[in-house]
Amino acid sequence: MAGRRLDHITQDHIASRAVGSSPANTNNALRTLRRMLKKAHEWEMIRSVPVVKLVEEHGREELIEPWMEAKLLAVTEIARMPTKKHAPKEINYGWQPLRDVLLTMLDTGMRPGETFRMRWEHVKWDREVIFVPRSKSRKSKRNVGMTERVKAALLARKGEANEGWVFPSARATSGHLKPCKNNSTAPSDWPGFLHPSCSTVLVIAFRRTRWRAREI
């Protein structure tokens, strides 16, 4: 449809287009197109506005069951070895901070980006909550409760730190961990739960580590 004149766009053209990586993204594009056509009609650039029908959106239905959670966490207890023959010996092949990230996401319901941007200043030990200052929208600012295992994991990670990133990264320009943009940049045995296009983040993690969990 790109390059087509507004007065040449018909309802059939709109109905035949499928854009976006999800129904929600497709509807965002269709709403933008509908707004453009209505403004063009107001400005007398087109005689009529074709009907723009939105596609059906489906909510997230998959949940993390206790057995799935157990297998996810069990994977992080397996000894992790180098995947390359000439890999440097000084590289840490343990499962941290993956295990602590998983625990935090599972028990608090925080998004990956919210978890990676956690700062020690936002962990309220006396109230046993984690403050989320920003996320996808203004309404996402909130306090989330800490379970005992999340509190224990964060205390073990904290050491003497009272400020700064909870999950720092020396390589990231932001200073904290960031999602993997594609699976080729991650180790072959690293669960791909950080992929930004995952609709249900931890379900994807389980699916990609299920082959490893069978060995337990």
pLDDT of residue 55: 85
Task: State in words which class domain 66-213 has.
Answer: mainly alpha
What confidence tens digit (pLDDT) does each residue in 12-60 have? 887 777 666 778 888 888 899 899 999 999 999 898 998 888 888 877 6
The SS3 of residue 129 is strand
What residue has token string 């999950």?
167
Mean pLDDT computed over every residue of the chain: 76
In this predicted structure, what is the pLDDT of residue 9? 83
Mention every residue, 6+ apart, whose C-beta is less than 8 A from residue 179. 112, 113, 116, 194, 195, 196
Pairing verdict, β 142-145 and 129-132: antiparallel
Element (H, E) at 148: helix 148-158
Residue-wise pLDDT for 163-201, tens only, equals 999 999 888 888 888 766 554 444 444 444 433 333 344
User: Does residue 177 contact residue 169 with C-beta atoms inside 8 Å?
Assistant: yes
Indicate the domain borders of the chain: 1-59, 66-213
pTM: 0.60
Per-residue pLDDT band for 8 (boundaries 50, 70, 90) equals: confident
